[in-house]
Every structure is written in C-alpha cells, then in structure tokens.
C-alpha cells in the first residue's frame, strides 16, 4: 500500500485533547506532522468525522488548537488530517521537530 503523505511524521508521546461533537477525550498523540497526527484513542471514529485537537509543544507558549478530519480509525488509534495550521504554529512545530532525536 502506497504512503501518500506529504509531510514527515515524527514519533512522539504528547498529551492531546480530542473533541468530537462537543465531547472532550484525553488521548496520547503518537506521531505528528505538519499535515496531521495519529492518536492512541480508546474509541473508533467514522472516517470523515470532524474533530478538534488541542496540544502543547515546548516551542510555543500557548496550546495549538486545530480542527481536523478523521482519515482512518482502528485498534491502533485514529489518524487525523489537520484543516491547516497558522504560520506561528508551523514555525513552532518545525522548531520542536528539530529538538527530537533522529
């Protein structure tokens, strides 16, 4: 199966709040790119479900809050494609990625 991602994924373990239909769930983000994230979540969500993520990185003083769409969901977690990040969030994430072990 081809991997069509346009952004490099970075393996991480960050707390994230996943909000679906007004209900918030605490999860762990297990990989992150500028285009989306994979979360370890206890529930499965239908493809196309609209969500909101809120998480923090040390290179940005406030939380990153971004909307997204569920692209896949399985026992391994849930894959979210971001709607889009603001310029300062892209900068902060790129700076964070530079700090991660290669």
pLDDT in tens, 87-97: 999 999 999 99
Q: Which residues pair with 56 in a beta bridge?
A: none
Q: What is the DSSP letter of 96?
A: H
* pLDDT for residue 35 is more than 60: yes
Q: Which residues pair with 54 in a beta bridge?
A: 17, 65
> Does the pTM of the predicted model rise above 0.75?
yes
């Amino acid at each position: 199966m081809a991997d069509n991602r346009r952004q490099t994924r970075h393996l991480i373990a960050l707390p994230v709040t996943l909000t679906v239909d007004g209900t918030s769930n605490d999860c762990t983000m297990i990989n992150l790119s500028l285009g989306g994230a994979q979360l370890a979540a206890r529930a499965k969500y239908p493809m196309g479900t609209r969500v909101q993520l809120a998480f923090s990185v040390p290179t940005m003083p406030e939380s990153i809050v971004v909307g997204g769409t569920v692209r896949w969901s399985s026992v391994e977690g849930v894959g979210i494609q971001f709607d889009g990040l603001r310029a300062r969030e892209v900068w902060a994430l790129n700076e964070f990625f530079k700090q991660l072990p290669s």
